[in-house]
Structure 1
Amino acid sequence: MKKLSIYLGLAAITLSLSGCNVNQTNATNKSEKLIVNNEIEKNKTYAKTDFSFDVDPATFTVSITENGETAEVSKPQAPKEVTDLKKSKEEVSWTYPNEQLKVKLKREKNHIAIALTSLSNEDNSFTWPKLDAKNYVLPIAEGKTIPNDQKEWLAYFKQNEELSMSEAFSMSFFTTNQETFATTFVMDNPFNSELLAKTEPHLTLEASHNFIGFDKNKTMNYRLYVTDNDPVAIAKTYQMDRINLGEFKTLDEKEKENPEIKKMRGAIQVYYWNSRILTTEDIKWGKLPSMVDQPIFQWIAELLTQYGEDGSEEYLKALEAFKTNEGYKYEKNTFLTSINYVLLYPQFYNKDIFKKPDEQAQKLIDKGIYTLSEQERYTLNKHLLASVLGELTPPIEQWGQATSSDVFKEMKASGVENAWIGLPNWANGLMNPTMVKTAADEGYLIGPYDSYQSIQENASIDWNTASFPNKNLYENATVTKKNGEKVAGFLGKGRKLNPTQIFPDVEERFTGIMQNKIPFNSWFIDTDAAGEIYNDYSPEHLTTQSEDVAGRLKRMNYFNQNGLVVGSEGGNDFASKNMVFAHGIETPVIMWSDPDMRENKESEYYVGSYAALDGGIPTKYKKVVPIKEEYKPIYTDPVYSLPLYKLVYNRSVITSHQWEWDSYKIKNQVGERRMKEYLYNTPPMMHIDKAAWEEHKQDISENAKNWSPFQKAALQHEMTDFKVLTDDRLVQKTEFGEKLSVIANFSNTDYDADGVKVVSHTALIMNDGKETVVKTEG
């Protein structure tokens, strides 16, 4: 891994604050609003109005003429029978009787409105447009520019011949670059649509649309825009389309509804791993050998045998090893994992084992074991355990704090002013509420990972997100395919839940978690913005993909209304109004299907497993791995990357990496990704436990001191411009308003032009005359 260092130029980046009195503040607010309004006004100018179009109904060929140049922007299909043809100066319509489809094209001021309407009450499909261009601009993740003959992209599309647009596309458009202009096909939404690819003799694409028989909406709407061959023009035109649809909401607007969102500005993104309330620091290991025959340790074995997914065999072996003073690292971890695991069990209380509960435990027992909240249950179990461990552990209020609360205090003291902290499960917080309170007291956002994607019939305690008190959900609220099969859950376990059927269960889970006032101030919902959506053919609850998404947005909005800063996996823009942050736009999951990365544990590319022997970061998130050369153009190479999403949503959604691919994950790309994080205004993300904090704290804290003011400044504006400054595309520039810009030099040679010099493998940040260099050293 490269060592990173930050060299400051004239001064650190600072935000220009406007004095203390109210008049100055109001004046500044008006000034900032005027600047933003001017930026939006400019964005209205990118879509061309001086073009004409022609269409051949039989082949559905669409041609655009602009400035004397004509291009077939949708290529001919096999001729079809046409009826009901009507044509005027501004409008053409017809019917394909055999396909049971009505088509209408209408010339509007700055686009062509195209409507495809199914005339069938059964499921129906239609493929259009057919694209054949030298280059494509697609909103895959943050955005890609794809030459039609690039070998790695050809290999990618050969393996992925059919892409679900709702899942693979972060935004609802696709663009072809013609010789002298670009044509962008914008959809209302990407639901029930696929992108079909052919790779011989070069890359060609077709869009396929499925009309669902029970869907009342039978129309697929396109708006076809003409712009310059410039990603800024393409993205800003799409942004105006979303604004016109009422599908755009700024962070400023979201912040007025929930002031906690302000804490997200300038925050680094941290997944914090502390799954143990009792840690190795909390056990006086020298005392354990004389205690292992006590009833509590045998009781733990019984609980593991009855309820543990892996049983008690390894735990009992560890106890035997301690008896002979042969309990080493593995045995200590097995012992700690077992104890922390059984503390989650509602069956933990046994009056024959815990004969002298302390006052707090007795109050909870008197309340009734099975009436306790989840947090109260954990509190009871901790106090029960403490009552029999004696001097083996410190006082209960110290359990686990050296590896959690103390780290957050140190983060703040080191200069990390803003942070979002994600816990892998709400149980981690309920077991250690002091940790959550400490993070909130330090001014950080902290919240749990939550998921409503899957349900299992008999989920283990490790899969609490796949478990619900309502046992009818497994049969009555899961998604059915058209052929009658149930859709399998995550990793093939259980089933997928229909979000329209479980809102009361969402409320029940949330109120249960929060009933003891744990100060979570953020919530992360897995997959809701990832586009993995379904048509549910269950006769009792027929559900379209649009209704599926509406159910997801309803629950996201529920968390918003409860004052939480909401994020989700993916970040696809159908959820842009309902989320504040998203994980997966900048670096999505890299190649689920590669066995070297996912199955072959001997491969250097193996990303790791979900297991963590020491209760800390699983190897899947901690292990540093290279990625194969053929994947770099698809996922990380700046040559093929475009900040399309940021050009549209910089002021609306804060996006970062998917958690499997944090800022430190990819071998020999830490520095390059750091540069790109500034270029694209992408928060750094890392997985941390106490050991990882010790390893990275100097780099994290030094970078955070610069990142926080940089992002706070960048979020005041649109990303107003993006330029490629060299023919090899390895020197790129972004602008955020008139005073803040970033030039990243990904090449091996220094860049020197227009009075600006950027050394190779560095990024130069310029803010109102002040300069900061982000540099990597070998």
Structure 2
Amino acid sequence: MNKSISITLLLAGIGLPFSAISAETQSKLPNLITLQNGEQSIAIDPNSLLIDWYTQTTNVQINESALLVESTRQHASQVMQISDKSASWLLEPSNIMVNATFNKELKITFDQMSKTPIPRNMPLTLKWFDLPDRQANALLMPFSEGMRIPTNNKTWMEYMASNFSNSNTTQNLKMPFWSVEVTGETNHYVSYQLINPTNNQLNFSISNQKLDMQAEHQFTMLNHHEPFAVLITLGNDQLDGAKQYRQWRKQQGLATPLSEKLARQPQLKHLIGASHVYLFGDDVLAIEDVKDWWGLNEWYFTQTELMLTKDAKKGLLKLRKGTRWLSKSHKRLLVESINLSLTRLITVEQTAPNNNGIKQQFEAAQKRKAWLVTNANTYLIDAELWGQGLSKGMINNLIAAGLSKLWIGLNKWTSAFYQPQVVDQAKQAGYLIGTYDSYNTAIAKGINDSWLTAQLPNAMREQCAIEKANGHKTKGFRGNGYYLNPVCERGYVEQRIKDIIHYGRFNSLFLDVDATAMTREDYSQNGGMNETQMLDAFNQRMEWIASNQDVVLGSEDGNSLTTQGIAFAHGMETVGFGWTDKDMKINRKSPYFLGAWYPKHKPDFFFKSARVKQPYKTLFFSPQYKVPLYQTVFHDELINSYHWHSDSLKLSDVQVERDLTSQLYNTPAMVHLSRDEAKHVDSPRIKALQHYQQAFLPIHQMLWDKAMTDFKWLDKQGLLQQTTFSDGSIIIANFSQTDIRLADNRGIPSTSIVALLSDDTVIEWTPSIYVE
């Protein structure tokens, strides 16, 4: 920092009059602004936005000299000290008006005042923040649940600079704030909350052998009328930023506690204490449904109605009883071939373009099942027991295992159409059961007709496509089709949701993407929508479902900007990593390979255990780099779990760390099941669910409506951690391999949690490995 600036800010901070500053310093900083609130003061250089905060005991640098507009330095004019707590000034040549107000927090607002319209493809970029890296010891960032990132850690520096630069503060940052741990005689935490969270970008770099961070905002043709505002607070606890944001949400009427949601929707009681399960396998027939394999194989090749598959002809046609044996792969091929041939024989009846076809899908499913009963019943078990994922036997085994609370999700709604009575059975058992649905991407017919959610009318795909500023339509998921504006064709969307719930008989629904805050500006004639308006559209769509359909609604991520209507979300307790890593995605010989997307009824990608490659293992799963920012804000408002790509059993060498963290934060486990993975009550994945329930169910039943109020390390290494809740309950997790005894003589076994609940219940739990 420039020495003269430091002297100036120090003098201002201790309350010396401006006249006491040297003439040389006054000439260099003629517009220095000092804001006062009680015994604290803030000094701002309006030309550069250099900010220092002074208390009785310390001074904290809040911002480096960061201010640039379109990469151009600015000059402050019309500087006006409105009061000792407020000031304003105009930045030139950008013509942006700035207002700074200091109460308990510092609020800085930027208004774009130019009368010259901002061109469609030429946004005005305001760089306003540069991390004061000299004092910064760690960043607390809500990427996923929360990351604690030491600024001097070389591995973190390189990873953040390579993977998190150009992050936006809507989808990438799960809550629109971050905190900086500042070292000194006592640690302070500076938190920065973006009142306007849209059209922002975070950049990370390495400077002076430390991690550096910058932030910028864009005024665009569509959002130029929206002021950009930042709320800056100074505290003494690492959760202060999260607590400030939680309080702000309440003040803005954005927070809806789970207790209030439960009063409005009694079925939500089934979510309290529930582990989350995804059932895989969508077709009518499973391997377990066959009782005469040789007879079925011979029958298949005599059915002139069926269009035989090439794979079946090649792999099964020449097999003869007595000369060969039917292997597991042969059996799988036969069942897959029958299911595929049956789908080709009995197709879904074509409807008008604006008809969603859900009724016709239901009817086709029932006809396929009836056709098999008529033509192949001799070789199969009772038709009421059929089903790859959803089946009577599956639900029976879950009940028999004593799993009293579950949320059950289906990959496709059509898997429920074959056995709707099993959905009723699950509901009667007290489970929530729903299907995956989405209205984010629309694709043309023939590209991937099995991607049901993306099968939307051609006119809707074209007319609702989001148009970028350059005039191009925004490509959809993985470059397929187009991403859609959520306000467009709401009538069609609402009718399809109604029909899916009606024919599937669901009491829950998982609406993918809507809660990720994946927002964009839409320049189409039908759109003309900025990012803030698009966030509102996502929230309105989810709120409509929760208010008008009798289902418990969930969505992906549960990003803080898009939580209206949802009671649960999947994704916050993990973070996406290694998307382009060849050892994880391509190299099948690698121990880090996540798995192929087959077999169809149980893809390895979801069921095959995998190890975690460095540096991901250390950065994302070591307890000393995690902090429960999200749970501090949302624990009593929204139940969150893992993303379905990585259930509780997927990552073998960090399962213990993930299990302990989940119990420490009081978040539910997620376990994937298929028919063959749940044959008996003692199947490994069923046993895992039983084990998770032993701790999570009683603890969550006590804490589901309680706020998380504190988080701290009980040792210097971060291997002994404690969370505290608003009723006084505490949970302690020992991540180490050594039993530890606390000052009160209470023992915490190695790799275990101990929950001391407010009703004096004590629960001790240790992770177990059921799936290698």
Fold conserved between structures, TM > 0.5? yes
Identity in percent: 26
* Code of the aligned partner of 2:131: L
Within the candidate set 366, 389, 399, 1:412 is matched to 399
Rounded Cα–Cα distance in structure 2 between residues aligned with 1:716 and 1:741: 15
Give 1:754's match in structure 2, choosing from 737, 743, 749: 743
Letter in 1 for 2:698: P
Q: Helix, strand or coil: the match of 1:587?
A: coil
Name 2:218's counterpart in structure 1. Answer: 210
Q: State yes or no: 1:510 paired with 2:497.
A: yes
Please tell me the residue identity of whatever aligns with 2:107.
A
Match of 2:637 in 1: 652
3-state secondary structure, aligned to 1:574: coil
In 2, are the aligned partners of 1:576 and 1:652 still within 8 Å (CA)? no
Structure 2 CA distance for aligned equivalents of residues 403 and 428 of structure 1: 7
Shift in Å, 1:753: 2.2
Name 1:304's counterpart in structure 2. Answer: none
Does the 8 A contact of 1:342 with 1:348 survive in 2? no
Is the aligned partner of 1:115 residue 2:109?
A: yes
Task: Call closer, same or farther: CA 1:227–1:687 in 2, change over 3 Å.
Answer: same
What is the CA–CA distance in structure 2 between the aligned matches of 1:586 and 1:677, rounded to whole Å?
A: 8
Q: Does 1:173 align with 2:177?
A: yes
Deviation, 1:524, is: 0.7
One-letter amino acid matched to 1:258? Q
- Work out which of the residue numbers 623, 633, 646 in structure 2 matches 1:638: 623
Cα deviation, 1:276-308, whole Å, max 9, x if unaligned, reads 321122222131344234334x5233xxxxxxx
Structure 1 pair 408/485, CA: closer, same or farther in 2 (3 Å)? same
Q: 2:516 aligns with which of 511, 530, 543?
A: 530
2:732 equivalent to 1:743: yes
Aligned to 1:253: 260
Contact in 1 for aligned 2:204/2:214 (Cα 8 Å): yes
> Structure 2 CA distance, aligned partners of 1:349 and 1:757?
62
Counterpart in the other structure of 2:5: none
Structure 2 counterpart of 1:593? 580
How big is the shift at 1:710? 1.0
Q: Which runs of 5+ in 1 are unaligned?
A: 1-47, 302-311, 351-369
- Residues 1:539 and 2:525 are matched in the alignment: yes
Whether 1:565 aligns to 2:556 is no
What secondary structure sits across from 1:461 in the alignment?
A: coil
Q: Which residue is equivalent to 1:717?
A: 706
Q: Deviations over 1:239-284 (max 9, x none)?
A: 1111111111100111122111111100001111132321122222
Is the contact between residue 612 and residue 618 of structure 1 (CA under 8 Å) also seen in structure 2?
Answer: yes
Q: In the TM superposition, what is the alpha-carbon distance from 1:388 to its structure 2 partner?
A: 2.2
Q: What do residues 729-752 of structure 1 show as CA deviations (whole Å, max 9, x unaligned)?
A: 111001123442111111233322
Mapping 1:691-706, distance limit 5 Å: 691-693=676-678, 694-706=683-695
Cα drift, residue 623 of structure 1: 1.1
Q: Counterpart in 1 of 2:330?
A: 331
Cα deviations by residue, 1:488-511 (Å, 9 ceiling, x for unpaired)? 211222221111213122113213
1:531-583, CA deviations, whole angstroms, 9 ceiling, x for partnerless residues? 32211122342221112222211221222120211111112111233211111
Structure 1 position 151 matched with structure 2 position 149: no
What SS does the aligned partner of 1:436 have? helix
- Number of the residue aligned with 2:249: 242
Give TM-score scaled by structure 1 length: 0.85
Q: Aligned in 2, Cα 1:385/1:461: closer, same or farther, shift over 3 Å?
A: farther
Compute the displacement of 1:345 (Å).
Answer: 5.4
Q: Deviations over 1:193-235 (max 9, x none)?
A: 111111132111111111221236331121111211x123332
- Residue identity matched to 2:140: V
Instruction: Report the equivalent of 1:624.
Output: 609
**Larger RCO, structures 1/2 (Cα 8 Å, 6+ apart):** 1
Verify the 8 A CA contact 1:349 1:384 in the aligned structure 2: no
Residue aligning to 1:191: 198
Q: How far apart are residue 322 of structure 1 and its match? A: 4.4
Partner of 2:16 in structure 1? Answer: none
Q: Secondary structure at the match of 1:177?
A: strand
Cα distance change on mapping 1:757 and 1:382 into 2, 3 Å: same
In the alignment, structure 1 residue 581 sits paired with structure 2 residue 568:
yes
| Structure 1 equivalent of residue 95 of structure 2 | 100
Q: Tell me the distance in 1 between the aligned counterparts of 2:523 and 2:320.
A: 59
Residues 114 and 222 in structure 1, CA contact (< 8 A), matched pair in contact too: yes
- SS of 1:647 mapped into structure 2: helix
- SS in structure 1 of the partner of residue 521 of structure 2: coil
Alignment of 1:366-385 (within 5 A): 372-385=359-372
- Is contact 1:292–1:322 with CA below 8 Å preserved after alignment? no
Pair 1:414–1:288, CA change in 2 (3 A): closer
Structure 2 Cα separation of the partners of residues 485 and 50 of structure 1: 55
Q: Check 1:58–1:732 CA distance in 2 against 1; reply closer, same or farther (3 A cut).
A: same
Matching residue within 747, 764, 770 for 1:773: 764
Q: CA deviation at 1:409?
A: 2.1
Q: State whether residues 41 and 54 of structure 2, in contact with CA within 8 Å, keep that contact through their aligned partners in structure 1.
A: yes
Give, as a single letter, the amino acid of the residue that structure 1 aligns with 2:537: G
Is contact 1:143-1:642 (8 Å) kept? yes
Please name the residue that 1:464 is paired with.
Answer: 452
Structure 2 match to 1:360: none
Deviation per CA, 1:444-470: give whole Å up to 9, x if none: 0010011122111124331111111x2
Equivalent of 2:230 in 212, 215, 222: 222
Taking a change above 3 Å as real, the CA distance of residues 465 and 49 of structure 1, as seen in their structure-2 partners, is: farther
RMSD of equivalent CA atoms: 2.3
Matched, 1:320 2:317: yes
Distance 1:738 1:291 in 2: 65
Q: Residues 631, 339 of structure 1: CA spacing in aligned structure 2 closer, same or farther, 3 A cutoff?
A: same
Distance 1:633 1:531, change over 3 A: farther
Equivalent-residue separation in structure 2 for 1:285 and 1:403 (angstroms)? 22
- Structure 2 spans left out of the alignment, 5+ residues: 1-36, 68-72, 350-356
CA distance in 1, matches of 2:60, 2:297: 82
Deviation per residue, 1:688-723 (Å, 9 max, x gap):
123333222223213313321111111131112211
The alpha-carbon distance between structure 1 residues 757 and 467, as it changes in their structure 2 partners (threshold 3 A), is same
| TM-score, L = length of structure 2 | 0.86
Aligned to 1:162: 166
2-structure distance, mates of 1:559, 1:315: 44
Shift of 1:128: 1.2
Name the SS of the counterpart of 2:300 in structure 1: coil
Contact 2:202 / 2:213 at 8 angstroms: preserved in 1?
A: yes
